[in-house]
Structure 1
Amino acid sequence: MNEQIRPQGAPGWLTLIIILLLALLGIGVVFYVQKQADPLVVYCAHDSIFSEKILNEFMAETGIAVEPRFDTEATKSLGLTNLIIREQEHPQCDVFWNNQTLGTADLKSRGLLESYKGSGYERIPESFKDPEGCWTGFAARLRVFITNTNQLQADSAAIEKVLAGPLDQVAIAKPLYGTTLTHFTILCDVWGLDQLKAWYAEQLKRGIQVTTGNSQVKNLVAGGACVLGYTDTDDYFVAVDEQQPVAAVPVTIEDKVILIPNSVAIIKGTQKREQAEKLVDFLLSERVELELAHSQSRQIPLGPVDWEQVPEEVKQYRSEIEKAYPLTNLVKQREQTLDWLKTEYLK
C-alpha cells in the first residue's frame, strides 16, 4: 500500500519531507491570509469626528481594514504617546496619527518609529517633517488669541493691554497636554526653562483662568466669562460656526507664529508595513489636506494644493506658513517643560 502512494522512484524519507514541506506551506499561506485580514491599528489623537470619516474613506478605497483608537480631549496626544512608549516591547499600534508633532518627535528619539519617505513625505515642506523620514506633518492649526468682540477689540494693541493687567478674564488650557504644551515648549526654547517658570507663576498670580482644554477656553470667551483666551484655530472656528461674537489674532513669538501640524508615523515593529505605508501616503495627500481644510476644524494645508479650492477663512492663513516657528528640534525642550509641568500638576 505504501508503495502505491509514494512518488515514483522516491524513497520513504523523501516522501515524508515533501509532505512536511507542503504542510508548512499550507500553514504559511493560512498565516499570511490571516495577517492580511487583521486590521491596521491606528492610534489617533485627531478629533474622531473628523478623522474617522477619512479613515473610512481609506478603507473603502483600499479594502484595508483599519481599527482606530482615540483618546480624550484633556489628555489626547500625550496619552497615546505614553501608551506607545509603554507598549514598546510588544507594539499594539501600526500607525500613529497625532494631532501635533512634538510627541511624535519624542517617539522618534526613543527609537520607536520606522523611516518612510513615500509620495506623501515628498510633497510636505522640509520644515514640517523629520529629515530621516520617521514622521511627517500635514494639515496644521494655528495658535491664536480668541477674543470676545463684544468686550474687546481684536487687535494686537488691545490684547497687549489686557495681558499687561489683571488676568482674571483671560483663559488658557492646562499646559500639561496638547497644543498648550507645544506653546510652552517653544517658550522654553526661546526664554529658557527658568524664565518660563517665572512667567507662568506670574500669570497664575495675576489670576489667569486655567481650563481642562482649548475647547473650554473657547467656551469661556464665546460666552463672555472671559474677554481673551489662548486657543487654536480649530476651536475658534467652532465658535464661528456657532455664530458667537469672536475673533482670532495669531499668537507670535519673536515674529514667528505657532503652527501645529498633525503628524503621521509608522510604529517600529509593525507586521503590516505595506498597509501602513499606504495609509501614510493617503493621509499626506493633497486630497486629505483639502478635505481637512473644508472640515469644521479648518486645517491649514502645508503641501502644494490648489488654493482656489481652499475656503476663504483658511486661505487667509496661507501667508503664516512661512512664518512658522520650527518644531523639528525641540525634543529636549519638550522633555524639560513636561518634567516641570508634571511636578506642578501631577503631585
Structure 2
Amino acid sequence: MNFKVIFAAMILGPASGLTAMATSASAAEVNLYSYRQPFLMNPLLNAFTKETGIKVNMVYLKKGMLERLKAEGANSPADLILTADIGNLHNLVEADLLQAAKSRMLESNVPARFRHPKGLWFGLTTRARIIFAHKKRVKPGEAATYEDLAQPHMKGRVCTRSGKHVYNVSLLASIIAAKGEAAAEAWARGLKANLARKPQGNDRAQVKAVYQGECDVALGNTYYMGKMMTNEKSPVQKKWAAAVNVIFPNQGGRGTHVNISGAGVTKGAKNKANAVKLIEFLSGGAAQKIYAEGNFEYPIKAGVKPHPIVAGWGKFKADETFLSKIAEHRTQATRIMDKVRFNN
C-alpha cells in the first residue's frame, strides 16, 4: 500500500485509516504508526521494501498515538510504533502497549543505555538538549552548565518552551537522576525565576527570541540548529541560527543530556517478525546515514558519521545514564514543574 493512501485515509477519519490498513494485512507487510514525519520516513521505508520485499503501511500521527492504541486494543492493526523522546516511549510501556523483541543485531547496533532493558523499545537516533547562547551578549563560561541557567547572573535572560513539554520533562528527569529530587526542584525554581518571558513556542521560537533580543540563552535540541541553518523556505531562520553559539552543557561533569527517537513492537502485533526486521533495518548503517542526512540527528550506530553540519559543532561528552532510568523519574519531574508553577 502506498504511504500516501494511508495518510489520506487518516485525514478522512480514524475508521477509514484502520480499514485500509487492516484489510491489507499479509505476511509480506508491516503496519506502522509514526510520529516521525513522512518526508523523513519515506526514503527509509522505500529502501527497506526494496531490500526485503516487505511493504510498509505507514500512518502518520501528529498526536494521540497512545490514546489511539488504547482505544483500538487487541484490534489495532499497528505492528510497531516510531516516536521521539524517551517520555513517549516510557508512556507506551507504562500503558502495557508494547512487547519485548529480542535481536542480536539490535543489541549490537543500539548501545545498552539507548534501549529498554527488556527489549520493549530501541533508540534509532539521538539528539542533545543544548544551550543556544547569543554570540555577543553571553560571555564565555556564563552558560556552561544547565545549573548556570538557574543562577542569579541569568536573571531575565533565559527562554524556553513549556516546562511540561516532553523534552523539558526528560531533561528535568535527568537532573533528578543525577542530583536528586530536591536539587532538581531548586533548579526548576531558579530557571523559572530567570525566564525573560512566559514559556511558549517550540525550540526554534526560542532561538528566534534570542536573535530578537528578548533573551540571551535558550534550551533546545541540536537538530533544530541544522534545520534553521539550511532553511530555504524561511531564510530568516538562517539569521536566527547565525546569532547563537551551540553549547553542550556540563562537559566538566556528568555530560549533556541526550535523548532519542525510537521504535517498539506493539503488544498485539500480527506481523511481529516483519516489525523486528524493520527496526533492525532502521538501526543499520544505510538507514542511519539517511537519518543523519535528512534530519541532522546523531546516528545511534557506532561508526556512522553525522551530517557535516552536525560534526562541525564538535564532539561532546554525553550523560551516560541509561534512558530507562531517567524515564523512571518523569512523574516526579512533571510534579515538580507543576509545583513550581513553571508555565505560569
* Shorter-chain TM band: 0.7 to 0.9
Q: CA deviation at 1:220?
A: 1.6
Deviations 1:100-119 (A, max 9, x none): 22331343344321222332
Unaligned runs of 5+ in 1: 1-31, 73-78
Distance 2:149 2:90 in 1: 36
The answer as to whether partners of 2:99 and 2:264 remain within 8 angstroms in 1 is yes
Quick one: which of 158, 181, 191 aligns to 1:203? 191
The answer as to whether partners of 1:175 and 1:184 remain within 8 angstroms in 2 is no
Quick one: which of 133, 143, 148 aligns to 1:147? 133
SS of alignment partner, residue 329 of structure 1: helix
Unaligned runs of 5+ in 2: 1-21, 231-237
1:46 paired with 2:55, answer: no
SS of alignment partner, residue 93 of structure 2: helix
Deviations 1:184-236 (A, max 9, x none): 11122234334433432333233343123222212222444322100010112
Give % identity: 14
Q: Structure 2-normalised TM-score?
A: 0.76
Q: Give 2:277's aligned amino acid.
A: K
The equivalent of 1:256 in structure 2 is: 255
SS of alignment partner, residue 179 of structure 1: helix
Distance 2:211 2:290 in 1: 26
Q: CA deviation at 1:120?
A: 3.2
- Structure showing greater Rg: 1
1:71 paired with 2:62, answer: yes
The equivalent of 1:294 in structure 2 is: 293
Distance 1:90-1:213 versus aligned 2 partners, 3 A rule: farther
Q: CA deviation at 1:95?
A: 1.2
Deviations 1:57-92 (A, max 9, x none): 4345534132222326xxxxxx43454445445435
The equivalent of 1:178 in structure 2 is: 166
Q: CA deviation at 1:339?
A: 4.4
SS of alignment partner, residue 156 of structure 1: coil
RMSD, matched Cα: 3.3
Distance 2:37 2:24 in 1: 30
Q: Give 1:152's aligned amino acid.
A: V
Q: Give 1:337's aligned amino acid.
A: A
Distance 1:197-1:158 versus aligned 2 partners, 3 A rule: closer
The equivalent of 1:265 in structure 2 is: 264
The equivalent of 1:220 in structure 2 is: 209
Q: Structure 1-normalised TM-score?
A: 0.75
Q: CA deviation at 1:125?
A: 1.5
Q: CA deviation at 1:166?
A: 4.8
Distance 1:161-1:219 versus aligned 2 partners, 3 A rule: closer
1:230 paired with 2:215, answer: no
The equivalent of 1:107 in structure 2 is: 92
The answer as to whether partners of 2:189 and 2:342 remain within 8 angstroms in 1 is no
